[in-house]
Amino acid sequence: MHPAPSVIIFTTLSGLGFGLLVWLGMGFPFVTGWVAFAFFAIAYALAVGGLMASTFHLGHPERALKAFTQWRTSWLSREAWVSVAALIVMALYGAGLVFLGAKWTALGWLGAALSLLTVYCTSMIYGQLKTVPRWKTPLTPALMLAIALAGGALLAGQALAALILLPVAAVLQVLWWVRGDMALSRSGTDMASATQLGDIGAVRAFEPPHTGTNYLLREFVHVVGRRHSIKLRIIALILGYALPVVLLLAPFTHLMAFLAVVSHLAGIAASRWLFFAEAEHVVGLYYGKR
């Protein structure tokens, strides 16, 4: 699929922001006053900034509020409601820490749960799509949750947790790639099933449906070269997971911690680009794409 920058920014930044809110809600680190304000400001800048970036992918951004109306059937709508609830609860919890020096534990844990649920809802926007076999797997929410928690641990200064969660996320990332490479072929979906013409014989594309491009081709049919894909996967693994672990194992300095966060963010951005670029939408079968 077409890797739109707005969606890459959305999934990368919001996951990191809500991941940090999870740790803050659980009391890690326990900070008050202006230090707490700084942590919450970073978390909200990432979470809200990511959510706002997602609206730029809408054909009519002014209609974004309509996303709240379909919560019974739409994971996007559920994400909208849960994210707002998480941000409100964590704002109240943060206000207690910043202005009163009070730790309202129950409120913090509720905010942490809602923040984690927000990431899950985001993952299910993609993980429930039968039309994209690469995404239709429990590994999709597992991977996004692991990345959010690992990135949040980095930002929260929880080095030990990050040293555990980063390798876990890396393993899930590799498993996701390995499973995804065979997802379309194993789904049993091909040109015959896509066109419902398999009963009358072998189906092949005689010629393209039209000579020019259209919305479906722009959004849902994107081909990334195998060599480029492998290179980007290596970059994502090194920057997103391996290098942050190496930096965390080195003697602690604030510079090392900052570089670990920057490296992780760059690596996850690369993996998110691949998340969309490598996704084969079944609509491509109508155009003879594999």
- Residue type at 153? A
Query: From first to last of its 290 residues, what are the pLDDT tens digits of the chain?
Result: 778 888 999 999 999 999 999 999 999 999 999 999 999 999 999 999 999 888 777 667 667 788 888 889 999 999 999 999 999 999 999 999 999 999 999 999 999 999 999 999 999 999 999 989 999 999 999 999 999 999 999 999 999 999 999 999 999 999 999 999 999 888 877 777 767 777 787 877 776 666 667 767 777 777 776 778 999 999 999 999 999 999 999 998 999 999 999 999 999 999 999 999 998 888 877 776 65
pLDDT digits (tens, 9 = 90+) for 256-277: 999 999 999 999 999 999 999 9
Task: Write down the CATH number for the domain with range 5-287.
Answer: 1.20.1630.10
Q: Where are the domains of the chain?
A: 5-287
Report if pTM > 0.75: yes
